[in-house]
Amino acid sequence: MNVKNTKRRSRTDWKRVDAMQDSDIDFSDAPEVGPDFFKNAIFWPGPKKQITLRVDPDVLTFFRKHGRGYQTTMNAVLRKYMEAQKRQAV
């Protein structure tokens, strides 16, 4: 862990975590993961691309009213639209 990447010092005992074996981890509260879980997983598309996008002022105002992260929300809306279009094309 890089201390420069965090504002607060971690209270995690990383040496203990690093020394743990898989058999030491208690998974009793984790649900079983089957094919349905992965069927709905989101494939990571890679790093985002920076673009210039022109949108109507009222559209921008609508998303900005949601506060910090409005560009991420816009991306999510566009992704859902893209996925719906792909499903209709099949």
Contacts of 74 (CB under 8 A, 6+ apart): 63
Give yes or no for residue 5 having a pLDDT over 70.
no
Higher pLDDT pick, 3 / 79: 79
DSSP label at residue 31: P
Note the pLDDT of residue 9: 85
Is pTM beyond 0.75? Reply is: no
Q: What is the CB-side half-sphere exposure of residue 64 using CA atoms within 13 A? A: 7
Going from N- to C-terminal start, the domains of the chain cover 10-89
Beta-strand runs (E) in the chain = none
Contact between residue 63 and residue 73 where contact means Cβ atoms under 8 Å apart: yes
Note the pLDDT of residue 7: 77
Length of the chain: 90
DSSP label at residue 43: P
